[in-house]
Structure 1
Amino acid sequence: MESNNKENIASDLLKAQTHIWNHIFNFINSMSLKCVVDLGIPDIIHNYGQPMSLSKLISSLSIDPSKQPYIYRLMRIMTHSGFFSQQNVTDNELEIEYMLTGVSRLLLKGNPMSVTPFVQAMLDSVLTNPFHQLSTWFKNEDSSAFETTHGKLFWEYIAHDPIFNRLFNESMASDARLVSNLLIENCKDVFNGLESLVDVGGGTGTMAKALAKSFPQLECIVFDLPHVVDGLQGSHNLNYVGGDMFQEIPQTNAILLKWILHSLNDEKCVKILKKCKESLKKKDKKGKVIIIDMVLENENENINEVVETQLFFDMLMMVNPAGKERNKKEWIKLILSAGFSDYKITPILGLRSIIEVYP
């Protein structure tokens, strides 16, 4: 019996060590993913048109000849993580053939719903370095670890770094393409009957363009900071307007807030929602605010992987723009604090939900 107890203790210790090690080295998966994207490996395999042997893949890469033997090891961990599948597995590594999976098809640059820009922006050192300062941030008065690292607030930094600003805008546009496709296909009722819509913080207008095209009767305005929309050209039912959402929002009978509120603290969210209410009141008492954001602890999202992803995003918001992901109770508190009377939450966009808010 004593021997069994010792074996169980040893087994538990080793399991605990493995658990810790896996979390220590989680970043290796992320950086390996960034590497295959930067090297263009998904597109190379896709363009080949059939399962691609390691030897052919290596010959297609623009890498130093001395690094060729290491590609197998990169592909091995990415295959383990589900980004590639393989066939013809033999003792000769060079004969192993690789294929794309449903996941890696979202990494193709030619895919209209490609998430490649999102990968490159989120794993850029501008956003990853603040995590090294997380414990320091807990001991100081800065609003975020991003401010501790860079000496500026998130949005201030972006406005003064044109290279990262472009990278960040491209990442948001790529996400908007994916979401708009699903939104228009599965949630048409949300927009039916609307005459006008303002996409607050709409960036370069990816979401608004898709809505304007799918709903020709809908007058769309992309509303963002002047330096974001400067020089952008609209169409017959799409216009760009520069301004500050904390000051005034153009009058409309619908306002879209896609992935805006989660990057802000509660006080700023209430302020923006109040500005939304003022805009709707001036235009149409039957208007609404359409929020696209995560709702934590949703009863329809009990899959561990989904919960983990949402918690990752909550930490990302805390560390960089000083925002937060919210559960249903927290969303209701914001909505009521801003003076709205009713709401409807529809968990239909995977990790995110549509929250319709009524005056």
Structure 2
Amino acid sequence: MAVIKCAIQLNIPDTVDLKTPITLSQLCTTLKCDPCFLYRIMRFLTHRNIFKQIRIPSSEESDPLYAYAHTPLSRLLMKQGEQSMAALLLLESSPVMLAPWQNLSERVVAEGRASFEKAHGKDVWSYAEENAEHSQLINEAMACDARRTVRVMLEECKEAFEGVTSVVDVGGGNGTAMTLLRKACPWITCINFDTPHVIAAAPNSSHAIQHVPGDMFLAVPKADAAFLMWVLHDWGDEECIQILKTCKEAIPHKNGRVIIAEAVIEEEGFKDKLKDVGLMLDMVMMAHTNIGKERTLKEWEYLITQAGFSTFTLKNINSLKSIIIAFP
């Protein structure tokens, strides 16, 4: 993780050309890096198949020339583009988010203290509210994830928005998800709903996104559908049920829906190629939130039922997240 963070901060992924491989000398000149150290960084990254090394034809057979080229993994580290995961990686490797890992045992012991609170004296949301720089890191990380998830949703789960004329993104950060939805479906009125300090920092939208501040535990703006992406895994069961209830109150009883984009951890014995990632994310929730966790399908069913929904559907998409649609 530290080496990947180094590569992103040095701008290596954005400097390596997408079409033409770049030599170590060219990379050093562009980035103004020490060739000995940069070579060792690139040697490690190519060994891990994050970049690939290509031999360039040379008249000096005794001294072959090599260049670096992109792989599908290295493209994820570029700061620009809908596939970028750079902001999420920079958030998770930041000193603020690394510190709680040193206190994980404090969370596990009986009557233990939350790891993030042990490290910083307050929970992650209170910390972000008082530290604008860290809040921006969180919003940028969630935005890069939204760019990937919304695109896949629109391709593979169009039924989520069928017959919908308005959507409220509960905990929508800087409004990236709703901006993408509005561009793809201009007939849908899109509302980005989050806490006041997040909405205050949200950029002005050129796609008629309504930014609304508030508290999702108390009330949610009215819409045909409420959208929750990577929100409920931050909270315990009681809090999730309350959030779902306020969302249920915000949507019409007929044709209304709550769309949940979250990981679904399958039970033992079920072969899921992304289960390892989901379980790692569960450890992140343990380190970074007070009571958040990843959930199995049975646990999601419990929350939805307890919140008063009559039925729900589940669709797996090409993502760590699945799409759960709950109906009143």
TM-score, normalised with respect to structure 1:
0.84
Q: What does the per-residue CA deviation read over 1:210-267, in whole Å, with 9 as the maximum and x for residues that have no partner?
A: 1112212211111111121126535675211111000011122210001100111111
Residue pair 1:273, 1:335 contacting (<8 A) in 2 also: yes
CA–CA distance in structure 1, aligned partners of residues 207 and 24 of structure 2: 50
Give the drift of 1:326.
0.4
Matches within 5 A, 1:235-274: 237-274=208-245
Is residue 233–residue 239 contact of structure 1 (8 Å, CA) maintained in 2?
Answer: no
Question: Which residue does 1:78 correspond to in 2?
Answer: 45
Show the counterpart of 2:140.
170
Which is greater in Rg?
1
Name the CA shift for 1:311/1:289 in 2 (closer, same or farther; >3 Å): same
- Distance in 2 between residues matched to 1:143 and 1:275, nearest whole Å: 29
Verify: 1:325 aligned to 2:325, yes or no: no
Matched residue SS, 2:100: helix
In structure 2, what residue type is equivalent to 1:113?
Q
Asked if 1:314 is matched to 2:285, the reply is: no
The reply to whether residue 351 of structure 1 matches residue 317 of structure 2 is: no
Counting aligned pairs with the same residue, the percent is 39
Contact 1:84 1:99 in 2 (8 A): yes
Structure ranking higher on relative contact order (CA contacts 8 Å, 6+ apart): 2
Q: Larger helix proportion, structure 1 or 2?
A: 1
Post-superposition Cα deviations, 1:149-201, rounded to whole Å, max 9, x if no partner, equal 11101100011111111111111111111111222222222112102111100
CA contact (8 A) 1:295 1:352 kept: yes
What letter is aligned with 1:307?
K
In the alignment, the residues of structure 2 paired with residue 287 and residue 97 of structure 1 have an alpha-carbon distance, to the nearest angstrom, of 55
Cα contact 1:114–1:174 (8 A) shared by 2: yes
* Residues 1:297 and 1:236: Cα distance change in structure 2 (over 3 Å): closer
Is 2:80 aligned against 1:110? yes
1:296 paired with 2:265, answer yes
Distance 2:128 2:288 in 1: 11
CA contact (8 A) 1:198 1:223 kept: yes
Listed as ranges, the matches of 1:142-153 within 5 Å are 143-153=113-123
The separation in 1 between residues aligned to 2:102 and 2:184, in whole angstroms, is 44
**Contact 1:253/1:284 (<8 A) preserved:** no
* Inter-CA distance 211–300: structure 2 relative to 1 (3 Å threshold): farther
> How far has the Cα of 1:277 moved from its partner?
1.4
Deviation at 1:285, TM superposition (A): 2.6
Given that 2:100 and 2:287 are in contact with CA atoms closer than 8 Å, whether structure 1 keeps it comes out as yes
Q: TM-score scaled by structure 2?
A: 0.92
Q: Which residue in 2 is equivalent to 1:181? A: 151
Structure 2: where are the runs of 5+ without partners? none
Q: Does 1:59 align with 2:26?
A: no
Q: Which moved more, 1:267-276 or 1:133-142?
A: 133-142
Aligned residues: 322
The 1-side partners of 2:77 and 2:207 are apart by 33
Gaps of 5+ in 1: 1-29
| 1:286 paired to 2:289 | no
Residues of 2 paired with 1:326 and 1:270: CA distance? 14
In the alignment, the residues of structure 2 paired with residue 235 and residue 300 of structure 1 have an alpha-carbon distance, to the nearest angstrom, of 47
Return the offset for 1:349. 3.5
- Work out whether residues 301 and 307 of structure 1, in 8 Å CA contact, stay in contact via their aligned partners in 2: no
RMSD after superposition:
2.2
